[in-house]
Amino acid sequence: MIEKYGEIIGESELDSVYKIAEKLKGISVLHVNSTPKGGGVAEILSKMVPMMKELGINTDWKVIRGDSEFFNVTKSFHNSLQNGVGNLPPSAFDIYNKWQEINSSEISTDYDVVFIHDPQPAGLIRFKRKGKWIWRCHIDISNPYPPVWEFLKRYIELYDSMVISSPVFGRDDLKLQQFIIPPSIDPFSIKNRDISRFTVERILRKFDVDPDRPLVTQISRFDRAKDPLGVIKAFKGLKRHIDAQLVYLGSPASDDPEGNIVYQETLKAAESVKDVHLLLLPPDSDLEVNAFQRGSDVVMQKSIKEGFGLTVSEAMWKRRSVIGGNTGGIPLQIIHGYTGFLVNTPEEATHYLIYLMRNEEVREKIGESAREHVKNNFLMIRELRDYLMTFALALQGK
């Protein structure tokens, strides 16, 4: 799997990965997160873990357990950390701690490096017995709701180091080392590899989307942070000028109890708008995602809060023009006017939708710049190398 990257990044770059890995051969690494499917973290781990094994690093991936009460609490944590306001269920902190204790008794963490992903399992650090523990935060924590942040901070400060996705997420109120590692995509996966125009058109038609008419797509969970209502509003503005179609494709995730509520809200908002296709597909619908991104004239990721937004890089890799929310990790990927366009409101999104739809030459030029930007910065081989460097630093002086 790793050797394939040679044809994209060159042998010299690939050699640097093997050289770092050589020094880490034989160490054991455990990744822990909260869902095996759905969302960017699970997607990255499904590729990253085999790549680490291929390099001779004994790597495991375990998923914590929880009931609906626990995931309601962690979803409220997620929202309050990203939005700066809180609406916590009663006894939220007690429920969180109870499930940390349950999971600590079921998951062995006796590894050289333990990589804990996001807030859901962060409290496992209380039960650390050995190794170096790294907290990998995938969300925007630049303006958190203070009660939740103060609660989690007590745990985070027990870690040896922390990894964030963007410099803007860095925290001045933590003493531990903070590393910046943006997420990445796998160009060889079913979701991102080349597929034929025939396959693209067949899949679009399967979902009653006309491949011969202008198409806008957003691939996102049904989550208010992804601004599905803003997407509908922006599309309504476009529709007054161009007879386009909109596909909003989302998948459920076991750690997101709000997904169906937001889906219903979006369904209601789209009722009076012609040519809107809201698709709720299984988390492994990678070929469908690939087809809709490739079949689109413009791809949107109009988030109002975003840790990174892997779908931005996915579409850019396919030479699509992307309109993204000016938030979180999206500005790392979209250089405004060069690799896509950043927007703050639905009205701005409508403006750039109309502009791009009317200018095929601009779309093609931006698409080429976008692919090159992803090639140089957001492929999984780069993230793998960064993780290896983080392990090496963590284990120094062990």
State the pTM of this model: 0.90
Residue 322, strand partner residues: 299
Query: Is residue 147 a part of any domain in this protein?
Result: yes
pLDDT at position 283, please? 86
How many CA atoms lie less than 13 Å away from 225 in the CB half-sphere?
24
pLDDT at 398: 58
Q: Are residues 156 and 172 in the same domain?
A: yes
* Any domain includes 250: yes
What is the Cα–Cα distance from 125 to 98, expressed in whole angstroms? 14
Structural domain that includes position 298: 197-377
Same domain, 235 and 317: yes
Scanning the chain, the segments in alpha helix (DSSP H) are 6-9, 11-24, 40-54, 68-83, 92-106, 146-156, 197-206, 228-239, 259-270, 286-294, 310-317, 330-333, 346-357, 360-377, 380-395
pLDDT of residue 90: 84
Q: What is the 3-state secondary structure (H, E, C) of 197-214?
A: HHHHHHHHHHCCCCCCCC
The per-residue pLDDT for 397 is: 59
Residue 251 tokens read as 């998948």
Q: Are residues 227 and 147 in the same domain?
A: no
Domains in the chain, number: 2
Per-residue pLDDT tens, the chain, 398 aa: give them: 899 999 999 998 899 999 999 999 999 999 999 999 877 899 899 999 999 999 999 999 999 999 999 999 999 999 999 888 888 888 999 999 999 999 999 999 999 999 999 999 999 999 999 999 999 999 999 999 999 999 999 999 999 999 999 999 999 999 999 999 999 999 999 999 999 999 999 999 999 999 999 999 999 999 999 999 999 999 999 999 999 999 999 987 766 778 889 999 999 999 999 999 999 999 889 999 999 999 999 999 999 999 899 999 999 999 999 999 999 999 999 999 999 999 999 999 999 999 999 999 999 999 999 999 999 999 999 999 999 999 999 998 55
CATH number at residue 37: 3.40.50.2000
Question: Does 270 share its domain with 387?
Answer: no
157 and 125 both lie in a single domain: yes
Q: Which single residue is written with the structure tokens 């988390």?
A: 283
Q: Tell me what pLDDT residue 38 has.
A: 75
pLDDT reported for residue 89: 83
